[in-house]
Every structure is written in C-alpha cells, then in structure tokens.
C-alpha cells in the first residue's frame, strides 16, 4: 500500500542500480528511513539529482510505501550541507553519524526526535563546530537507540554526583573514586574523559556556545566511547575505521586547526 506524501528528509546513503537508476535511502521526518527507487537519475539535467547528493536535506514528495521500494516524484526546499560535502574530514565524521542512524533504527520507524538530533548535528558540524565533539555527543546519546542506557548522573553505589568517576559495566554506569575498589574490571578510564562523556550524555546541541578540549583528552574520550561501543553495541562500521585512520594523516591535509583558548579545558553552555 502506498500514498502520495511529502516529508522533510536527510539523505543517508545511495547506490547505483542497473545502468541509469539509483537506490537512495532517506531518513524522513514523518516515516523514518525508507528506500527510494530513482529511475534515470544519471540522465543529464535530472531535476532530482541535486537533492540526492550526500549531506543534503530537502522536502521529498512521492509514493511512500509501507513495504518495498518507495518512489520520488519531486523535491522542494533543497539544502546542502556544503562545508561537509567539500571537506574530506567533515564528510568522514558526517558519514559515520549517518551510518550510526542507519544501524540504530529499523526501516519505517517513526523517530522525529532522532531526525531533529541528526539534523542539528549536521548543522553544527557544517557551521564549524568541532566535528570530533559533535560526533562524541551523538555517539553517547544515540546509545539509547541500541537499547543501552548507562547511568551517568551519579555513582551506582552511593549516588555521589561530584568528584572523579570511572565507568563500571558491573554497575551499569559510573562509580565514584571511593568505590573503585568494588570493581577491579572497571574501565580505568581517564577521569577527564568520564567528565566530558557525562556532560555529553545530557547536553543539547542548541545549548552549546563553545567547547574546547585538549587533544590528549579527546583521545581519552575516544578510547572510552570505543570501549562502550565494543562492549554494548558491537558494530564495526567502515566509516568509523576511516575517521580513526584520518588521525594519522590529518595534519597533512587539514585546512584549519581549532585553537584552544588556554591550557585548561573548557566547555561553555548558554
């Protein structure tokens, strides 16, 4: 069964189909992610082509089917995340975010909150915010879509909210320093990384006015999040491997560096 519908959407991925056609996966605000069959997309002056490029959002109009392939008739209000499209580093992080969305929800699963969250992440990245931090926030908050809800707000033993913390699988969340001895298999994560991950778990993109994190701490955050994903999620995306590899050659190609304000790490919210 299908119906003529329209919805704001974000391109997740696409692949060629036969000689002139394409299959395009779109995360729609109204109907979740759906696969669309686009006929003759490789013809010259195909009007749909600009709206089907990676890192593009638009209002897509067509036959939205409850099963099988859907079909596009037209588009309007096309917006490209231009900086992400043009920068190999940003596109690496952006691809990883979209791959996480694809892995986290089933087809046609209505999830307007995740749609808005994804849209905000791409907007902030396109506006020049640190792509690593934007990605970290996304990774931590999307854990819920994989059925994972670590306790970040307080120690799982005593309820303490201040001080140094580590992550404990045994307690399903953080442990304060006074109770580290209760779990010899805790992550032994850098307390600074745990501090930022706790903040990332609750912050919203529209409240961020600036985040400044030293490279050493970024690496510790990366290690902590990787441990969480390896233990609880268990997916191994090619795009994640790519952004990991980028770190070894980004100093050669990266156009600009994000300077630190001082030797201290700061996070500022409105």
Q: What confidence tens digit (pLDDT) does each residue in 60-117 have?
A: 999 999 999 999 999 999 999 999 999 999 999 999 999 999 999 999 999 999 999 9
Task: State the average pLDDT over residues 219-244.
Answer: 96
pLDDT at 1: 57
Residues 70 and 162 in one domain: no
pLDDT band, very low/low/confident/very high, at 180 (cuts 50, 70, 90):
very high
pLDDT at 256: 46
| Residue 267 forms part of a structural domain | no
CA distances from 146 to 61, 102, 103, 138, 215 (A): 30, 11, 9, 13, 28
Residue that wins the pLDDT comparison between 214 and 247: 214
Tell whether the model's pLDDT for residue 270 goes beyond 70: no
Residues 132 and 227 in one domain: yes
Closest CA to 195 of 164, 170, 171: 164
Which of 8-12, 115-119, 146-150, 260-264 is predicted least confidently? 260-264
Residues 131 and 245 in one domain: yes
Task: State the average pLDDT over residues 2-22.
Answer: 90
| Residue 261 forms part of a structural domain | no
| Residue 118 forms part of a structural domain | no
Tell whether the model's pLDDT for residue 130 goes beyond 50: yes
| Residue 158 forms part of a structural domain | yes
| Residue 97 forms part of a structural domain | no
Task: State the average pLDDT over residues 191-197.
Answer: 97
| Residue 27 forms part of a structural domain | yes
| Residue 90 forms part of a structural domain | no
pLDDT at 252: 61
pLDDT at 263: 36
Instruction: Say how far apart CA 27 and CA 60 lie, in whole Å.
Output: 10
Q: What confidence tens digit (pLDDT) does each residue in 153-170 have?
A: 999 999 999 999 999 999
CATH number of domain containing 139: 1.20.1440.120
Domain that holds residue 22: 1-79
Residues 69 and 134 in one domain: no
Tell whether the model's pLDDT for residue 189 goes beyond 80: yes
What's the chain look like in SS3? CEEEEEEEEEEEEEEEECCCEEEEEEEECCCEEEEEEECCCCCCCCCCHHHHCCCEEEEEEEEEECCCCEEEEEEEEEEECHHHHHCHHHHHHHHHHHHHHHHHCCECCCCHHHHHHHHHHHHHHHCCCCHHHHHHHHHHHHHHHHCCCCECCCCCCCCCCCCCEEEECCCCEEEEHHHHHHCCCCCCCCHHHHHHHHHHCCCCHHHEEEEECCHHHHHHHHHHHHHHHHHHHCCCCHHHHHHHHHCCCHHHHCCCCCCCCCCCCEEEEC
Residues 140 and 58 in one domain: no
Residue that wins the pLDDT comparison between 84 and 250: 84
pLDDT at 265: 45
CATH number of domain containing 33: 2.40.50.140
Average pLDDT over the chain reads 91
Residues 168 and 60 in one domain: no
Structural contact between residues 85 and 92, judged by C-beta atoms closer than 8 angstroms = no
Domain count, the chain: 2
Residues 132 and 27 in one domain: no
pLDDT at 42: 77
pLDDT at 43: 78
The pTM score is 0.89
Instruction: Say how far apart CA 50 and CA 217 lie, in whole Å.
Output: 39
| Residue 254 forms part of a structural domain | no
Residues 37 and 134 in one domain: no
Residues 152 and 242 in one domain: yes
Task: List CB contacts of 103: < 8 A, sequence separation 6 or more.
Answer: 235, 237
Residues 35 and 141 in one domain: no
Residues 134 and 228 in one domain: yes
pLDDT band, very low/low/confident/very high, at 38 (cuts 50, 70, 90):
very high
């Amino acid at each position: 069964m299908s119906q003529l519908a329209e919805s704001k959407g974000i391109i997740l991925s696409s692949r060629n189909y036969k000689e002139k056609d394409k299959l395009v996966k779109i995360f729609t605000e109204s109907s979740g992610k759906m696969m669309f069959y686009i006929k003759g997309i490789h013809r010259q002056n195909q009007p749909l082509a600009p709206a089907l490029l990676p890192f593009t959002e638009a209002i897509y109009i067509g036959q939205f089917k409850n099963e099988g392939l859907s079909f596009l008739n037209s588009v309007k209000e096309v917006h490209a995340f231009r900086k992400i499209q043009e920068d190999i580093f940003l596109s690496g992080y952006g691809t990883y975010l979209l791959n996480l969305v694809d892995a986290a929800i089933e087809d046609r699963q209505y999830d307007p909150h995740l749609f808005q969250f994804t849209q905000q992440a791409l907007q902030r990245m396109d506006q020049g915010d640190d792509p690593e931090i934007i990605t970290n926030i996304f990774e931590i908050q999307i854990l819920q879509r994989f059925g994972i809800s670590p306790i970040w707000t307080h120690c799982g033993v005593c309820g303490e909210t201040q001080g140094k913390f580590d992550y404990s699988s045994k307690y399903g969340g953080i442990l304060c320093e006074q109770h580290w001895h209760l779990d010899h298999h805790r992550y032994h994560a850098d307390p600074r990384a745990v501090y930022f991950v706790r903040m990332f778990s609750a912050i919203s993109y529209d409240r961020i006015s600036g985040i400044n994190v030293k490279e050493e701490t970024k690496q510790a955050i990366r290690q902590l999040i990787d441990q969480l994903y390896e233990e609880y999620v268990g997916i191994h995306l090619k795009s994640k491997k790519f952004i990991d590899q980028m770190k070894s050659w980004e100093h050669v190609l990266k156009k600009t560096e994000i300077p630190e304000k001082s030797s201290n790490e700061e996070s500022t919210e409105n």
